[in-house]
Amino acid sequence: MSSGRVWLATFLVWMLIGVCFKGWCAASERNTIRVGLLRFYKGAQSVTLSSDSGLTVTDATGRELISCEPEAVVVLSAEGGVLTIRSGLDVLSEAGSFVTASPRRPTSTVRIETLRQPVREYRGRIEVRPKACGLLLVNVVSVEDYLLGVVSAEMPSSYPDEAIKAQAVTARTYALRNRGKHASDGFDLCDTSNCQIYGGVSVEADRSTAAVRSTLGTVLFHDGRLAHVMYTSDCGGVTQDPSEMRPNSKFPYLRSVTEPPEMPQSSWEALFTLQDVRDKLIAAGVKQAAGLTGIRASKLGASGRVLEFEITTDSGATSISGTKLRSALGVNVIKSLLLSVEKTLGGTILFRGKGSGHGIGLCQVGAKWFASPPRNWNYTQILAYYFPGTEIVVLQPYDSSARTTRTSDQFVCPERKVETKSVPPGPAESGDRVGIELELRLNAPRGL
């Protein structure tokens, strides 16, 4: 072969490698998610980072600033909007930008510590940005690794395996559907209950991890796009259609579902004096509560939840939303709006209720009951019950071997219909249309 042909062949090989690498990087980024770490680090003035494999700190352009040995610490602090980085004797400043701390070994984790918080570990990498109020920490992590720190935080790992799998699929669907929810804040999702509770490696549990791994890439679709899913701790025997509160939030698969009467239900009570209720409402901005003399549930939704309360005062009556009152009195005290209100002989207000949470979508204690003997439902049946009319699919570009296992007998489900199809992928950021390898139409067991 002539030298010209050798040169041309070498050039083409390197071009092919470059194209493949670029495609791999693009796919890798599509499978990552940016999580704002607000629960423990919002407004922190200083954080200490470390890793058992050492850390590499780069600036916004990717230029390496610091590379430290295993277990060596990097201290980052915000001083007047300027990011100061300290590692050993090295002190650097980055004005108006951000830095990224990555473990030198990709499988290692990054440890974060502050003066007020114990050490917590996170997979992926950590971005640190200076803000006027302190530091903003963003965990850039693969979607599947993110779920390891969500599923274990959102559902007890003591629940049956199939219930945890149902939670994993729901959490994955939520993450992909809502990716970009906090784009204006510099990240996709937060780590609080406003999105999904996320605790990183520190909260991971073996059984939750197994549920995430065994449902790799599995999500719920409806009408060719990711379903708008939600989940709740305990629906009190009946889930709520979100359109009860917001008429424009109508999704056919989020309609109210009544659970079997033999399913055990939790109940709770909360007792307040009129003065307690008045003070809390005024503190929440309900100025009309001054001179409060009584309160009653004045409007109920189809699921029985209180949509509006009427409060009576010395000067008349006014209405406030159920969510407003629950927030004012405390969501951990008024655990749900599936409640009644009584005025006792002593002049106090007694709230009696069932369930816990907003009551929309997957009911976690219901999933636990369905997955337990003698019912022994699998997770596809549980999802079909709480999200009727949805389809379960496995997304690309996830591991191909995981996709092929989707045709196994783990999907034992009445009237199962399996078909393959291809939906043209759209923008990854939109969360609308994603490539599909396999579709399973779900049906809950009959007789319920």
428: in domain: no
Is position 65 within any domain?
yes
| CATH code, domain with 93 | 2.60.200
pTM recorded for the entire structure:
0.83
Strand spans (E) along 124-273:
125-131, 134-142, 189-190, 218-222, 225-226, 231-232, 267-273
Q: Is residue 435 part of a domain?
A: no
> In the chain, how many domains are there?
2
Is residue 392 within 8 Å of 440, Cβ to Cβ?
yes
Residue 308 lies in a domain: yes
| Domain final position from 297, 320, 354 | 354
Is 382 part of any domain?
no
For CA atoms 52, 57, 63, 64, give the dihedral sign.
Answer: negative
Domain membership of residue 423 (yes or no) is: no
Whether residue 432 is contained in a domain is answered as no
Q: What is the pLDDT along the chain (448 residues), one digit of tens a residue?
A: 555 565 555 555 445 434 333 443 444 556 899 999 999 999 899 999 999 999 999 999 999 999 999 999 999 998 777 899 999 888 888 766 899 999 999 999 999 999 989 999 999 999 999 988 899 999 999 999 999 999 999 999 999 999 999 999 999 999 999 999 999 999 999 999 999 999 999 999 999 999 999 999 999 999 999 999 999 999 999 999 999 888 777 899 999 999 999 999 999 999 999 999 999 999 999 998 998 999 999 999 999 999 999 999 988 999 999 999 999 999 999 999 999 999 887 789 999 999 999 999 999 999 999 999 999 999 999 999 999 999 999 997 654 333 333 322 232 333 333 333 333 333 333 333 333 334 444 555 544 4
By residue range, what is the domain housing residue 286? 267-354
Last residue of a domain, one of 309, 328, 354: 354
Pick left, alpha or beta for residue 341 (phi over 0 → left; psi -120 to 50 → alpha; otherwise beta): beta
Distance CA 356, CA 40 (A): 24
Examine the fold and report which residue of 323, 354, 385 is the final residue of a domain before the chain moves on. 354
In a domain, 251, yes or no: no
Structure tokens at 232: 């709740």
